[in-house]
Amino acid sequence: MRWSRVEKEAFGKSFLLFFLSITLLLAALFYSMWLREKSHYDQVLFSQMRLCSFELKCPQFTISFDPFDKKRLYTLLRDDRAVYADFPIPGSQKFALKIAYPLSRYQTDLDSRAKKLVWMFVAVEGIAALLAVLFSLYALWPLRKALKLTEEFVKDILHDFNTPISIIRLNVGMLKQQCPQSRKIERIEKGIETIVRLQSNLRGYLGGHTLQNETIALDRLVKERAATIFKDQEDIRLFMDLAPVKISANRDAVIRIVDNLLSNALRYNRKGGEVRIVLDEKGRLQIADTGVGIRRPERIFERFYKEHDRGLGIGLHIVKKLCDEMDVTISVESRLGEGSRFILDFSKRLG
């Protein structure tokens, strides 16, 4: 089953939370084990040195003498050459017996023990990673089930929209024959187009589409969509400067992107305002309006984010999603009370 972005994000966060928590606990545990292992090794080494001080038959140690210092007796010490301990010589208050173990061999022994712990830690981390995956999948399963049920429900609703929309269109067409100049009928037609556009946006939000590319005359497509959306718009002036540009992309996706941006430029414009559409030869499309502007442009592509009561807050999110899928860069510039400019870079899609 295909994973949605929300499911991937939920899985990643669950996995990281579980895995990092276990890793921190394991790191603390193995560090404690390492301290105990080092302490145990020092005790074993000191015991061997003490035994050597009695037998003096210990080829792994070097035996010499140190000035007698009561505070240094029976203590494992270390310098830049060896690890050693001083032991008293019966009847002597001037010298102490020094049993030393080369520092290089001491460090090698510790490294060998450390490597065993490291490999043990790696093995346990692998098990922890597997457990984290299983835990994340188990925690994600109810979410995936709920999302699937929601998707199926919305898809059924969208499918059921087709019948009433077709009936409304048919009856509006019949009414238009009787009253061809009726402004009310035109407003009904625009309302129908808005519903159809919302239906298309919801389908895009649900995903499940495969983007098949074809050669598109981008300037012609933009001109056609602008003519449809700005039809009978007397309050908004439209200016277009479109260079002939051909791209290789999915036509439905490009139409959905252009329709969303042009509809927003129209919907959130001021009375007597204007919309400027510029397409240069490098495939850079700009759609600018003189509308209300955007308060927080950095959030405008977030799912369900909206700054006005109208809409669901998914139109621009779908635009960004489609742009990402087609490798089209989109950015926005906006000032409150002055307007907004959306910039799309189709240079990677030039055909």
Quick: pLDDT tens for 220-238.
Answer: 999 999 988 888 777 889 9
Q: Check if the beta carbon of residue 161 is closer than 8 Å to that of residue 203.
A: no
Q: Check if the beta carbon of residue 304 is closer than 8 Å to that of residue 292.
A: no
Q: Is the pLDDT of residue 46 over 90?
A: yes
User: pLDDT category, 284, cuts 50, 70, 90?
Assistant: very high
Per-residue b/e over 156-187, b at no fewer than 16 CB within 10 Å? eeeeeeeeeeeeeeeebeeeeeeeeeeeebee
**Separation between Cα atoms, residue 289 and residue 270, nearest integer Å:** 9
Q: Is the pLDDT of residue 202 over 70?
A: no
Average pLDDT over residues 66-82: 91
User: pLDDT category, 168, cuts 50, 70, 90?
Assistant: confident
Bridge partners (DSSP) listed for residue 322: none
Q: Is the pLDDT of residue 110 over 90?
A: yes
Q: What percent of the chain has pLDDT over 90?
A: 46
Q: Check if the beta carbon of residue 85 is closer than 8 Å to that of residue 99.
A: yes
Least trusted range by pLDDT, from 138-142, 149-153, 259-263: 149-153
Average pLDDT over residues 127-148: 85
Q: Is the pLDDT of residue 136 over 90?
A: no
Q: Is the pLDDT of residue 329 over 60?
A: yes
Q: What CATH code would you report for 210-349?
A: 3.30.565.10
Indicate the length of the chain as a whole number. 351
The reported pLDDT for the residue numbered 210 is: 53
How far CA 27 is from CA of 18, 37, 124, 129, 215, in Å, comes to 14, 15, 11, 14, 56
Average pLDDT over residues 100-118: 94
User: Any alpha helices (H) in 179-305, and if so which ranges?
Assistant: 183-206, 218-229, 251-267
* Torsional sign, CA 51, 52, 58, 62: positive
Q: What does DSSP say about strands 62-67 and 95-102: parallel, antiparallel, or unpaired? A: antiparallel
The reported pLDDT for the residue numbered 278 is: 95
Q: Check if the beta carbon of residue 101 is closer than 8 Å to that of residue 61.
A: yes
Q: Is the pLDDT of residue 1 over 70?
A: no
Which one-letter DSSP state was computed for residue 91?
T
The reported pLDDT for the residue numbered 178 is: 78
User: pLDDT category, 201, cuts 50, 70, 90?
Assistant: low
Question: Which of 112-116, 194-198, 266-270 has maximum average pLDDT?
Answer: 112-116
The reported pLDDT for the residue numbered 317 is: 85
Give the start-end residues of each E strand in the chain: 62-67, 77-78, 82-88, 95-102, 214-217, 237-242, 246-249, 274-279, 284-289, 329-335, 339-345
The reported pLDDT for the residue numbered 40 is: 95
Least trusted range by pLDDT, from 32-36, 283-287, 320-324: 320-324
The reported pLDDT for the residue numbered 44 is: 94
The pLDDT tens digits for 55-72 are 888 999 999 999 999 888
The reported pLDDT for the residue numbered 148 is: 75
Average pLDDT, the chain: 86
**Separation between Cα atoms, residue 71 and residue 131, nearest integer Å:** 52
How far CA 197 is from CA of 203, 213, 300, 311, in Å, comes to 10, 21, 19, 11
**Separation between Cα atoms, residue 143 and residue 340, nearest integer Å:** 37
The reported pLDDT for the residue numbered 222 is: 93
Residue spans of the domains in the chain: they are: 5-140, 210-349
The distance of Cα 234 from the centroid of its chain, to the nearest Å, equals: 44
Cβ neighbours of 58 (radius 10 Å): 16
The reported pLDDT for the residue numbered 207 is: 59
User: pLDDT category, 195, cuts 50, 70, 90?
Assistant: confident
Q: Is the pLDDT of residue 47 over 70?
A: yes
Q: Is the pLDDT of residue 85 over 60?
A: yes
User: pLDDT category, 203, cuts 50, 70, 90?
Assistant: low
Q: Check if the beta carbon of residue 312 is closer than 8 Å to that of residue 306.
A: yes
Q: What percent of the chain has pLDDT over 70?
A: 91
